[in-house]
Structure formats: C-alpha cells, structure tokens
Structure 1
C-alpha cells in the first residue's frame, strides 16, 4: 500500500510538471509570436518602400537658349564643358533613368540633346553644340529656383544661330514622337527598314496642318502601307507627305496655305495605332530627318512617361 501511494505521488508530480512545462512553453510561444508580429508591424511602418530618385523632364528652349530639368528629389548636379566637339555635360548623381539613351536633334546652335544612364548611380545629360560655338565655362551657372528644379542659361548668340536657321516648315501636329527617322525593325513586318519620317502619336481625329504653302499632288488611298495619304509639293521643290490619315480634307490640284487643315489623324494602312507619319523630301525624291527642317521653339523630353514632345 505504501509503495502504491509513493508510486501515485510520483505519477501526480510528473503529470503536474508536464502540464506546467507545456503551459509555460505555450505561453512563451505566444509571447514570441506577439513579439514577432509587433516587430514586423513596426518595420512596415518605420521603413516604407522608398521610390528611387529620377529625372522627370529635360527641356531646351531655343528662343531663350535655356536648359531646364526637374528631378523627383533635390540633388547636386555636376556640370562640365568638353571641347572638340563642344558639349555641355551635366551629371546627376543618385538619379536613376531606366529607359534607353535618348538623343533628339535640335538645330544649328544646339545640334542635339541626349539623356542616358552613365553608370548604376548616375544619369547624364549632354548638350551637343555646333563647332562654331565657343563657351567659357565660367559663364555657365546651374541655378535652382525651387526644390528639384534646375536651370542653366546659355549665351544668347546660340539662340541667334538657331532662330536664324529656322526653315519655313512648321509642325503638322503637336504631340509626342513615338518613332523617329532612321533604320529600325518594322513593328508589323519585323523587317529592318529605313523609317523615312517621324511618327507623332496623337489621337484619331486630330487635325493635320500643312507644314508650308503648297500644291496637293496626291490625296487618297495608297497600297504601300501608308493608307490614306496627302502629298504636297512646295515652291522650293520640296515635298511633304502625311500618312495613315483617317480623313482627307483636300483634293489633288488644290492649293493650300501653311497651317491649313488638310486631313485628320488616323490609323489606316499598316499601322499599330493612331498616329501621323510625316516626311520631308527637300529635293522632292529623297526623305531626310524632318526634325532638321521643322520650326522648333522648344524640345521637351518627358522622361517620367518616356514620351518626347516639341
């Protein structure tokens, strides 16, 4: 009997210790779980996902010879002047630009502007100048009028070169350029082919204006992929072509004035969406880059949305 009682007490003690141990373990696990939940919540609040700093816009104003650019957050840009050929290089440390390098033709004084990523942590902007332009680096100043917005004033003689060289052709539409002049892989055929003009991505129905005074030499449908086309012959022998139009407003043999509505934007022919394909042939036969001939007052690279506007 005594052995039985002693045995019973041992079993009771074992059961009691087991329950207490498990209860303690359970309590410890709950406390650990709450601590981890609290830690996770605190981290989520204390360290929200940070957005990378980036270059938003880059603008060159031909009339004032002024460069403007804006970034999401403020930085300290670094500018240098390089000779042979003359270039202004502006580096933006800590700025991320994820798109491909963009180069846009401008004019004679400022020949082109270029934006790209020089390394993992630096975006570089380059202003390419005519060989006839000389710059004194001491005369150039980067100024910030407000957080994230910077300007640089170039010598006024650069504006004079650009404005005096402007041709008689004006923009047929205003909108972002979706494809420039040059060799490319055709988006529909997949073949490498010379893109003989520039494409302006604007909505269907947008009026298309004559780039200069001229005579309508063709107006209507073509089977070469351009869809509805208007072709104008100008006084100096040059030819301009307006393709993929939705509606044509003019007829062959009609005289038109610069700025007159001649058609509306569409997506006829081989086209992936509404746009105007615009060509200039100075000799009436050979297409060249229209951006070398169009009247530009301002070049804007809208880098935040990767669209390029004039």
Structure 2
C-alpha cells in the first residue's frame, strides 16, 4: 500500500481535471462487486514523452501534482489493484514510476520527476479517446531532460517488452522470495539477442541453476553483461564481439515461463546492478493484468 504522505494536505497540490481543481478530493466512484474493475497496464514511453494506462472498465481518474519532490499522482477510484507496490527507476527527467493501492477501493499511479524539471501543472491533461484507455502528454521540459546521462553506455540487447524488473520478488515458479538480478524482456521465440557493447565472450554454455543456455560478455572496462534462457547460442568462448552483434536467439530454456531474455549488468564483473541504469530509456511497461486470477 502507498505511503499516506502523498495524500498529505500540507503538500502543494493541483488537480488535473476540470471539476477536480483545488485541494478538495473528488467523490470516489463506487462499483458493485459485479462491476469489479482492474488496472491492466501502465506505460511510460520516453519516445512519445507520455504516460498511458488501461483499465478493464472505464472510470474517471483523479489527477494531482504534488511538490517536494515533484510528482504526478493519479488515483483510480473503484480499482482494487491486486499485487505489491511496483516501482521502476527510469532516468533523469522522469526518475521513477510506481503502481500500488492507496486504500481498499483505490489504486494509485505515481510519476516522479527530477528536482531540476519544472513545469506548470496546467500543461498536464489526461485524455481518453477510447473507453478505459488514458494518456497524459508530459511537458517539453521532461522531453528535453537528458534521460541518457550518467552511466548509460550500452544499447538494448533485444526489442521487446520488459516483463520483470530488477529487485526482490516472489519467484513465479518456485514461489520463494529472491533477488531478481536483472530484467526480463519478452520477445518471440528465435528473435536475435544482441551484444550491448564491444567485448569478448568470457563464458557460454548451459546453467543448471535455472538460466538455461547463456552468454557472458566481458567489456574493456572490466564490466560484464549476461544473457540467459537462449534457445540457441551463436558465439563461442573467447570470441571477439562487436556492439549490436547477434550472439544468441530468444528461448525459454532453464527455469522459465515463456520465451524471453534475462539480462544482467555487472559493472565490476562481480556484482549485479539494475540494468536500466545502463540502457537508453525507451519504455517502461508494467503488465499488471497478470496479478489477477480470473
């Protein structure tokens, strides 16, 4: 459940809808059990500079901008989000996105911005052209922020959808709480996996611990990248690799629930970090429908 501080009246708030301006809350929409609604996806798309979310049934969201730090908070009345609070780090302009439950009948979406990103809340508009599907175009000040600054140095290893982020989670197969050491990117079986940077194949083969067919690449600065669950490996140990070179094909080998790439970054060659910090940001996609069991 979200921290109640984001509802604190001491923070400066500005509602994003006609009829919802000011600091007074809009009346929540009540749904009968037969009308139970759910949040299905939440997307931050840096290429389009916008956020999008979809609902099983349409409602009117409530939006507000809160300062210190600046963040957009969107409450979804009548939505019972079934799952833990999910937070994904993004980059510089947009620092993170979050999804969680603020109370038993309200789900909450949060987009947090960097301290140096400034905009007029009046610039923000939530729009719905199709029932249940909402978009919010973000200000140009967000688009102009350097989302690829800092440590980012690699290209993407695969074109696909991020289905699991870095961090502690309940393993979908074992049911045990463990650190997910990388990110999972879903893609069709056989799609090419690409090296994110120049380097040498330091290891490849089969991992009995659950990764299946894998490739490990060591880069000139001592960092390593790791690619797992491949259906087929296209390189050999000791081979020189160029950035963007196909090194394997997407599969579901090892402990896996479907075709995808498990990708890790080890800056010192030993310890894993969130790969998102090293990749140019394109989209953050949270597929939330999987939290529901029909």
Q: CA deviation at 1:136?
A: 2.7
Bigger mean CA deviation after superposition, 267-276 or 215-224: 267-276
> Does residue 194 of structure 2 align to residue 231 of structure 1?
no
Q: CA deviation at 1:202?
A: 4.5
Mapped to 2, the partners of 1:157 and 1:269 lie a distance apart of: 44
Structure-2-length-normalised TM-score: 0.75
Deviations 1:187-223 (A, max 9, x none): 6777654332223345553322212232222222355
> Does residue 268 of structure 2 align to residue 283 of structure 1?
yes
Deviations 1:162-197 (A, max 9, x none): 444283323323444444322345567776543322
Name the SS of the counterpart of 1:161 in structure 2: coil
Mapped to 2, the partners of 1:244 and 1:149 lie a distance apart of: 33
Where structure 1 has 5 or more consecutive residues not aligned to the other structure, the ranges are 1-48
Name the SS of the counterpart of 1:144 in structure 2: strand
Mapped to 2, the partners of 1:279 and 1:54 lie a distance apart of: 32
Bigger mean CA deviation after superposition, 187-196 or 57-66: 187-196
Counterpart of 1:104 in structure 2 is 88
Counterpart of 2:125 in structure 1 is 141
Alignment of 1:130-209 (within 5 A): 130-165=114-149, 167-184=152-169, 193-202=178-187, 204-209=189-194
Mapped to 2, the partners of 1:224 and 1:248 lie a distance apart of: 18
Counterpart of 1:25 in structure 2 is none
Bigger mean CA deviation after superposition, 87-96 or 215-224: 215-224
1:258 to 240, 243, 251: 243
Residue 90 and residue 176 in structure 1: after superposition, are their counterparts in 2 closer, same or farther (change >3 A)? same
Residue 122 and residue 208 in structure 1: after superposition, are their counterparts in 2 closer, same or farther (change >3 A)? same
1:82 to 62, 66, 70: 66
Name the SS of the counterpart of 1:171 in structure 2: coil
Residue 202 and residue 140 in structure 1: after superposition, are their counterparts in 2 closer, same or farther (change >3 A)? closer
Residue 211 and residue 164 in structure 1: after superposition, are their counterparts in 2 closer, same or farther (change >3 A)? closer
> Does residue 51 of structure 2 align to residue 67 of structure 1?
yes
> Does residue 202 of structure 2 align to residue 217 of structure 1?
yes
Instruction: Tell me how large the CA RMSD over aligned residues is.
Output: 2.9
| Paired residue total | 259
Residue 251 and residue 116 in structure 1: after superposition, are their counterparts in 2 closer, same or farther (change >3 A)? same
Mapped to 2, the partners of 1:136 and 1:67 lie a distance apart of: 17
Deviations 1:36-76 (A, max 9, x none): xxxxxxxxxxxxx9442333332222133212223343322
Mapped to 2, the partners of 1:243 and 1:183 lie a distance apart of: 19
Name the SS of the counterpart of 2:144 in structure 1: helix
Residue 114 and residue 207 in structure 1: after superposition, are their counterparts in 2 closer, same or farther (change >3 A)? same
Mapped to 2, the partners of 1:219 and 1:88 lie a distance apart of: 44
Give the helix-richer structure, 1 or 2. 1
Deviations 1:77-120 (A, max 9, x none): 21111222221101122233333322222211111111122222
